[in-house]
C-alpha cells in the first residue's frame, strides 16, 4: 500500500524554520562536488576523442533527466527522505525496501572499487608495479576497509570536517592539474597517443564490446539526485534550479571531457590501466619534464582525498538501512547500535560482505578485469534504483497531481513522460551493456563472464524479497535508536553522492 500523500514539512517550499538561501552558483557547485569524479575517467579514456561524444550522450539520456526529475521530487516531497521514501511514496513499502536495500548493497561492490583505486594510487607513490599485483590490491582494500570500519565506531563528526577539503584536495585540484597536463602536452609539441581527426569524434558503433565503457560514463554521473535535497532552498526554484542544472552539467561534462582526453593523450593505449590511469598520466608527464617528484605528490594528494572521502561516507549506507527498523525489516541480530548511535552490527556485516567481493581481484584474469566487473555491478544495481526513481516521478504525477512542486519538469504530463522515459531508456540500455565483457580488457570466456554478472546481481537483489516473506512481528525493535531513525534527508543523500566520487558540499 502506497504511503499517503502527506508528510512533515512544507510542500513545494522550504521546510519549516529554514530559509531559501542557496543561489544558482552555490547549487551548481554543490552538484559539481557531488558528481565529478576521477576514478572512472581511465575507462572512458579508452574511447579516445570519441569520449567527448559519450559524455555528451550520457548527459542527455541520464544526467539531465535525473536532475530534472529529482528537482520535482525534492521540492514536492522535501522531507520524504530521498530515493527510499520517494519510491515508497509512489509504489509502497515493498518497493521502498528494495530501494533502500539497493542504497546499501551497491556499496558492497563499490568499496572494493574505490579502495582499489586508492591502492593503485598509493602504489605509484611507492612502487608502480604494485598497481597490478592482485595480492597487494586485495590486502590494501580489505585492510583499509576494516580500519575505517572500526574508526567509524567513533561516529562521523570528526570525519565530516574532512568533507569539503577532501573534495578540493583529492578531486577538483587534481582534475584541474590533469587538464593543464593535457594542454601542456599538446602545446609543447609532444606526441599525442590519440592523433586528432574529425572522424575520431564519432562513437564507434561497430563493436558492442567497445560500447560497454559507456557504463563508466553513467556511473560517473551518479549522484546528481543530491540536487533534489537542495532545490527547495533555492530562492526561485522554477527559474533558478534549471539554471543551476545547466551550469553544473556544463562544468561536469566539460571537466570530464578535458581530463579524460588528457589521460588518453598522455598514456599509451596499450599501457592504460583502468585502475591506475590517473597516476599513470601524472607520472608520465612530470617524468618527461624532469619533475618525477611532482607526479608522486599528485598521486599522494589523490590517494589522500580518496581516503578522506571514504572515511566521510562509509557509515551513511548502514544508517540508511537501519531506518527500515520502522517496518521491522531488520533481523534482530542486526539491531545492535553503540552509544554513539552507530549501527555496529550493520557495519560489521557490510565489511564482511565487501571483503568477500574484494576477493574477485584474486580470481579475475587481471586487476583491471576485477575493477571493471565490480564497477559494472555497482552501476547495474544503481540503475535499477534510478529506473524506480524515474518511474516514481511519472507515477506521482498521476497518483498525487495536487501536491505542490516548487519545481516541475516542464511540458506537463508529456514533458514528464519524455524526460522520465528518456531516463528509463538510458538506464535500461546501460544495464544491458553491463553484461557485455569489454573488448579492451582481458576477461573470462563470455558465457562465464555473463553468468558471474547475472549470479551476482541475483544474489544482491534477492534478500529484500526474502525479508518480505519471512519477517516476523518480533523483528521490530521495541527500543530503536531515535537518533538514527530521525536522520535528515541530507544525511541519507551522502551514500549516493559518495558513489559519484564525492560527498555533498555542506552549508
Rounded CA-CA distance 412/315 in Å is 39
Point out which residues pair with 22 in neighbouring strands.
234
Residue 112 lies in a domain: yes
* Spans in the chain with pLDDT lower than 70: 1-21, 78-82, 155-164, 167, 206-207, 209-210, 229, 232, 309, 312-313, 485-507
For residue 3, being part of any structural domain is answered with: no
- Closest by CA position to 435, among listed 209, 127, 218: 209
Helices (H), 212-291: 214-221, 227-230, 237-266, 277-288
Determine phi and psi for 36, rounding to 5 degrees: -60, 125
- Within 13 Å, how many C-alpha atoms sit on residue 309's CB side? 34
Tell me, yes or no, whether 19 lies in a domain.
Answer: no
Query: DSSP state, 412?
Result: H
Q: What confidence score (pLDDT) does residue 161 get?
A: 59
In a domain, 507, yes or no: no
User: Has residue 457 been placed in a domain?
Assistant: yes
Residue 381 lies in a domain: yes
CA 387 to chain centre: 15
Phi-psi region of 189 (alpha: psi -120 to 50; beta: other; left: phi over 0): left
Secondary structure (3-state) at 396: helix
Q: Which three cell numbers stand for residue 380?
A: 547495474
Residue 231 CB partners (closer than 8 Å, separation 6+): 27, 70, 71, 74, 75, 237, 241, 406, 407
**Is the distance from CB of 427 to CB of 102 less than 8 angstroms?**
no
Angle between helices 344-358 and 134-151 (to 10 degrees): 180
240: domain range? 26-499
CATH of the domain at 268: 1.20.1740.10
Q: Give a yes or no: residue 17 inside a domain.
A: no
Q: Is the pTM of this model over 0.75?
A: yes
The pLDDT tens digits of the residues spanning 136-147 come to: 999 999 999 999
Radius of gyration of the chain (CA): 22
* Number of structural domains in the chain: 1
- Within 8 A by CB and 6+ apart from 16, the residues are 9, 10
Torsion of CA 373, 374, 376, 379, to 10 degrees: 180
Distance (Å, rounded) from C-alpha 349 to C-alpha 58? 34
Amino acid at each position: 500500500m502506497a504511503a499517503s500523500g502527506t508528510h512533515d514539512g512544507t510542500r513545494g517550499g522550504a521546510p519549516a524554520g529554514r530559509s531559501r538561501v542557496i543561489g544558482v552558483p552555490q547549487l551548481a557547485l554543490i552538484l559539481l562536488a557531488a558528481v565529478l569524479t576521477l576514478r572512472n575517467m581511465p575507462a572512458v579514456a579508452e574511447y579516445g576523442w570519441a569520449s567527448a561524444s559519450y559524455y555528451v550522450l550520457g548527459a542527455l539520456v541520464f544526467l539531465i533527466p535525473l536532475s530534472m526529475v529529482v528537482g520535482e521530487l525534492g521540492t514536492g516531497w522535501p522531507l520524504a527522505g530521498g530515493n527510499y521514501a520517494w519510491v515508497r511514496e509512489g509504489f509502497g513499502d515493498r518497493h521502498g525496501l528494495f530501494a533502500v536495500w539497493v542504497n546499501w548493497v551497491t556499496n558492497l561492490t563499490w568499496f572494493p572499487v574505490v579502495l582499489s583505486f586508492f591502492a593503485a594510487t598509493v602504489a605509484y607513490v611507492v612502487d608502480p608495479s604494485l598497481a597490478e599485483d592482485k595480492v597487494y590490491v586485495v590486502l590494501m582494500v580489505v585492510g583499509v576497509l576494516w580500519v575505517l570500519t572500526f574508526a567509524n565506531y567513533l561516529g562521523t563528526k570528526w570525519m565530516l570536517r574532512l568533507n569539503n577539503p577532501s573534495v578540493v584536495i583529492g578531486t577538483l585540484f587534481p582534475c584541474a592539474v590533469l587538464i593543464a597536463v593535457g594542454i601542456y602536452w599538446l602545446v609543447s609539441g609532444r606526441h599525442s597517443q590519440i592523433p586528432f581527426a574529425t572522424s575520431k569524434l564519432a562513437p564507434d558503433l561497430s563493436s558492442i564490446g567497445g560500447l560497454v565503457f559507456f557504463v563508466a560514463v553513467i556511473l560517473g554521473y551518479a549522484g546528481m539526485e543530491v540536487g533534489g535535497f537542495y532545490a527547495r532552498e533555492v530562492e526561485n526554484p522554477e527559474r533558478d534550479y534549471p539554471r543551476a542544472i545547466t551550469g553544473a552539467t556544463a562544468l561536469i561534462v566539460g571537466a570530464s571531457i578535458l581530463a579524460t582526453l588528457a589521460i588518453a593523450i598522455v598514456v599509451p593505449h596499450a599501457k592504460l590501466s583502468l585502475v591506475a590511469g590517473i597516476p599513470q598520466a601524472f607520472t608520465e608527464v612530470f617524468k618527461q619534464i624532469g619533475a618525477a617528484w611532482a607526479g608522486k605528490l599528485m598521486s599522494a594528494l589523490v590517494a589522500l582525498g580518496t581516503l578522506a572521502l571514504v572515511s566521510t561516507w562509509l557509515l551513511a549506507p548502514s544508517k540508511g538501512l537501519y531506518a527500515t527498523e520502522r517496518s521491522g525489516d531488520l533481523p534482530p541480530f542486526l539491531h545492535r547500535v553503540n552509544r554513539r548511535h552507530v549501527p555496529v552490527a550493520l557495519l560489521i556485516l557490510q565489511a564482511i560482505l565487501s571483503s568477500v567481493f574484494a576477493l574477485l581481484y584474486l580470481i579475475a584474469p587481471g586487476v583491471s578485469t576485477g575493477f571493471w566487473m565490480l564497477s559494472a555491478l555497482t552501476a547495474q544495481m544503481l540503475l535499477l534504483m534510478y529506473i524506480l526513481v524515474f518511474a516514481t516521478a511519472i507515477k506521482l504525477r498521476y497518483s498525487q497531481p495536487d501536491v505542490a512542486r516548487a519545481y516541475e519538469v516542464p511540458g506537463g504530463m508529456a514533458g514528464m513522460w519524455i524526460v522520465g522515459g528518456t531516463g528509463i531508456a538510458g538506464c535500461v540500455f546501460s544495464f544491458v551493456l553491463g553484461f557485455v565483457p569489454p573488448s579492451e580488457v582481458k576477461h573470462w570466456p563470455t558465457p562465464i563472464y555473463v553468468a558471474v554478472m547475472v549470479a551476482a546481481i541475483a544474489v544482491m537483489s534477492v534478500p529484500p524479497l526474502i525479508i518480505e516473506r519471512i519477517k516476523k512481528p518480533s523483528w521490530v525493535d521495541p527500543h530503536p535508536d531515535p537518533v538514527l531513525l530521525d536522520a535528515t534527508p541530507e544525511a541519507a543523500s551522502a551514500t549516493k553522492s559518495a558513489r559519484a566520487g564525492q560527498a555533498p558540499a555542506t552549508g
